[in-house]
Structure 1
Amino acid sequence: MAILFKQPRQWFERINGSNNMLWLLGTLSFLETIILPIPMELVLIPLMAVNRQRLWRLATVTTAGCLIASLVGYSVGLLLYQSVGTWFIESLDMQESYQAFQTFFDQYGFIAILSVGFLPLPYHLAMITAGLSGYPILLFALATLIARGLRYFGLAWLVYRFGHRVLILWKRHAMLTSLVAGVVVLIVALGMQALTTLI
């Protein structure tokens, strides 16, 4: 666990001290979405706290990096699932999670993508499944923007409001907050879907 928190601190120092901070942050967001097992918040919250005048720009760049990575993952599912896609899922030991998400996705589509953006689940599941199924890329991009945009811009607002304390609160309650947010989004989306079928 000490190593897990040491690496983000090193990345934070390098990014914050660089003239190319926004590019580095976008790249880190891209890598975190594709393969890095370290939550983006560990670097992003302290970076936002010491750059409060650039909060919204940092949130925008982080969201953009995630979106680009998501489209890459979508392309892997669409074009390279039999080779790269299956290798990727097996290398991360996500076979069971992938199959479970496929069932969820087949039934709910957009809502499934939106929910996994909040829940503490690897976003790779949504990217590869959406690509493999041929799900409309614009709808996939929209769901990604909504889910990750709310996540990072919401984080920016919290840092603006509470400063450095957000990192302490996030470390204590990250799992619970993600679960609650994911469940709320899922309930609201399912409720709206049910209403549209009744109208």
Structure 2
Amino acid sequence: MKKTEDTRANRLVARILNSDYLLTLVFLASLLESLVVPIPLELILIPIMLSQRHRLWAISSMALAGCLVGAMIGYGIGFLFFDDLGQMLLSWLGYDNGFAEFNRQFEEHGFATVLFIGISAVPFQIAMLAAGSTGYPLYLFLIAAAIARGVRYYGLALLVHWFGDYALQWYERYDRRVAWLILVIAAMLYGVYLWL
């Protein structure tokens, strides 16, 4: 029975990877990841990029586009409905405790904060809701989000382009360490920014 299930799963994955709708699915996955799914998109992007190396940059672009559309929706929720939906989303994700202090920091250093969150392992929903709830300018928020997430998605494509299958092995082996390293580096850069 297990072998039959594995075969079906493999056929489904192959159909998705060879589908005309692959880029649309990447867009939707990125949109959902930016809004409600607290699982790194990289977990699915690396295998997709490895199997579709000729479409690396298109996959990265669709991931970025989906994230930015999700970011605009999250910003809108923060701007229009923070007291109702935004608080509920923060509670559901378990991030409501430290949001007041974060909000104060965000009002002072919004652009750098969005960059920090967008590059690091901190859930991006926090930046979206904070930007919207504080009325931070949407265009600045989107520029910072595009830079931060562009670094992640196009950087990932570059790693897959350069290292191929080794990129997936490396990610699986060191993903937590790399996430912590990126978080520490981003925090240090953010600290330097605040200090200057």
Band the TM-score falls in, shorter-chain normalisation: 0.7 to 0.9
Correspondence for 1:3: none
Aligned partners of 1:77 and 1:132 also within 8 Å? yes
With over 3 angstroms needed to count, the CA separation of the structure-2 counterparts of 1:188 and 1:162, relative to structure 1, is same
Pairing 1:117-136 to 2, within 5 Å after superposition: 117-136=118-137
Q: Which residue in the other structure is 2:110 paired with? A: 109
Would you say the 8 A contact 1:117–1:148 is kept in 2? yes
Structure 1 runs not aligned, ≥5 long: 1-5
Which residue in 1 is equivalent to 2:138?
137
Residue matched to 2:42: 41
Greater C-alpha Rg: 2
Q: Distance in 1 between matches of 2:143 and 2:67?
A: 12
1:37 shift after superposition: 2.8
Q: 2:62: which partner in 1?
A: 61
Q: Distance in 2 between matches of 1:10 and 1:40?
A: 22
Q: 1:68 to 1:46 in 2, by over 3 A?
A: same
Length, aligned pairs only: 189
Cα distance in 1 between the residues matched to 2:100 and 2:46? 33
Three-state SS of the structure 2 residue aligned to 1:147 is helix
Please list, as runs of the form range in 1=range in 2, the aligned pairs for 1:72-83 lying within 5 A after superposition.
72-83=73-84
Classify 1:92/1:13 alpha carbon distance in 2 versus 1 (closer, same or farther; 3 Å). Answer: farther
Distance in 1 (alpha carbons) for counterparts of 2:122 and 2:71: 14
Amino acid across the alignment from 1:93: G
Q: In structure 2, do the counterparts of structure 1 residues 174 and 192 end up closer, same or farther at CA, with 3 Å as the change threshold?
A: same
SS at match of 1:80: helix
Cα offsets for 1:14-68 (capped at 9, x unmatched)? 5313211111110111011111132211111011011111111111110110011
Cα offset for 1:178?
2.6
Matched AA of 2:182:
A
Residues 85-94 or 136-145, more deviating: 85-94
AA paired with 2:128? M
- Name the Cα RMSD after superposition: 2.4
TM-score, normalised on structure 2? 0.86
Q: 1:97 to 1:170 in 2, by over 3 A?
A: farther
Contact 1:11 1:43 in 2 (8 A): no
Q: Structure 2: which 5+ residue stretches go unaligned? A: 1-5
Q: How far 1:122 moved relative to its partner?
A: 1.1
What amino acid is aligned across from residue 32 of structure 1 in structure 2? Answer: E
Alignment-derived partner of residue 171 in structure 1: 172
- The aligned residue for residue 3 of structure 2 is none
Q: Are 2:118 and 2:148, in contact at CA under 8 Å, matched by a contact in 1?
A: yes
Counterpart contact for 1:118–1:179, Cα < 8 Å: no
Q: Which residue of 2 is the match for residue 94 of structure 1?
A: 95
CA contact (8 A) 2:103 2:134 kept: no
Greater displacement, 34-43 / 48-57: 34-43
Alpha-carbon contact 1:12-1:43 (below 8 Å) kept: no
SS at match of 1:95: coil
